[in-house]
Structure 1
């Protein structure tokens, strides 16, 4: 019984310390997040429109909230858009073929517990590190700039 109480009090302290931690600690490693001024649906629509306007391929739009409803579960609005451009992705895969596991690109749009909508995507520098990509600095810079631009267009 005593060991149980010690574990329970330790768990309580850990829980309280996590609640007081800065929001940055909650961010997933390698994920760039941008606040949106729109709903999840509108942000995803805007992103899809700008991707199409830029000549990129939108492979799939997945509504995770609908998926959850389909199995009787609740989930705040959450959508994933899978997109890419072989002209950009292929040279990256030529530098480090394992990066293909993270391609095509994905953008996640979700509403947090406070009602704030976010757009997130994989940080190209994280992918560079994860896959030990060397010799593709120019491609990486283009991808970073494009993702920043796409996120800004969809969220403002």
Structure 2
């Protein structure tokens, strides 16, 4: 079952709330809207947003924003480029891996198995209709998957940070 929920849209220090208004269809494809949309696919544990920019531009912007917030980009994987290197084709697809030990370590102290999901990763990809999507693991999904107890503040802070850098990367 797919669910759409409201999530906090915060800069790391400023709070505001964004409504989620779109629903995913049964085939798990994102509907098209003129405005930025945020959807949470509970089944896959993903938060997904549409970007008005190319994959390259969205990824470049995201990496710069992450670093400007004091986090470290550990890796940037260009799956399309890697596919091409072995004579295969793939639509533009990049993953940025990043984090900050001040955020990740307390979460691992709550439940060490969450380390398998860290550092954080954000996927930027282009679909068959040339629409660009930014997706990341919903921290609430990770909380449930790893049975994390007593770390609601840490989960909320990570959710806010992911939402903030993602929204900034897709802003016009």
TM-score (norm 2): 0.76
Instruction: Kindly indicate whether residue 107 of structure 2 is the aligned counterpart of residue 92 of structure 1.
Output: yes
**Highest CA radius of gyration, 1 or 2?**
1
Per the alignment, residue 102 of structure 1 pairs with 117
Given candidates 116, 120, 136, the residue that maps to 1:121 is 136
Unaligned runs of 5+ in 1: 1-20
Task: Give the secondary structure class of the aligned counterpart of 1:88.
Answer: helix
- Across the aligned residues of Structure 1 and Structure 2, the Cα RMSD in angstroms comes to 1.4
Corresponding position: 1:25 with 2:28 = yes
Q: What number of residue pairs does the alignment pair up? A: 136
Task: Give me the whole-angstrom Cα distance separating, in 2, the residues matched to 1:63 and 1:127.
Answer: 25
Q: How high is the TM-score relative to the length of structure 1?
A: 0.84
Which structure has more relative contact order (CA 8 Å, sep 6+)? It is 1
Greater share of strand: 2
**Aligned 1:56-75 pairs, distance under 5 A:** 56-75=71-90
Task: Point out the structure with the larger helix share.
Answer: 1
